[in-house]
């Protein structure tokens, strides 16, 4: 499946999948596909969070280097 366009899109799709999985009528033939997609979305979100944390850390470090104190 394709990569989501944004973190928000990934979270919305993930919430939809979780909703589907919480229902008792999930087709067993679709279950593994949904679980696999949920895993991909979780990995995508983790990657975005890590990249954002790194970027923020770099900006903060740059600001601290520029601080005259």
Give residue 69's pLDDT band: very low, low, confident or very high (50, 70, 90): low
> How far is residue 46 from each of residues 16, 50, 57, measured CA to CA in Å?
18, 6, 16
Block residue for tokens 């990249």:
51
Give residue 58's pLDDT band: very low, low, confident or very high (50, 70, 90): very high
Closest Cα to residue 20, out of 12, 52, 4?
Answer: 12
What are the residue ranges spanned by the domains of the chain?
7-66
Query: How do residues 2-51 score in pLDDT, each as one tens digit?
Result: 999 999 999 999 999 999 999 878 888 899 999 999 999 999 999 999 99
């Amino acid at each position: 499946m394709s990569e989501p366009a944004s973190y928000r899109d990934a979270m919305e799709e993930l919430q939809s999948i979780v909703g589907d999985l919480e229902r008792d009528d999930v087709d067993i033939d679709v279950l593994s596909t949904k679980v696999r997609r949920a895993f991909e979305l979780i990995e995508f979100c983790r990657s975005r969070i890590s990249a954002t944390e790194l970027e923020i850390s770099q900006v903060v470090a740059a600001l601290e280097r520029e601080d005259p104190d």
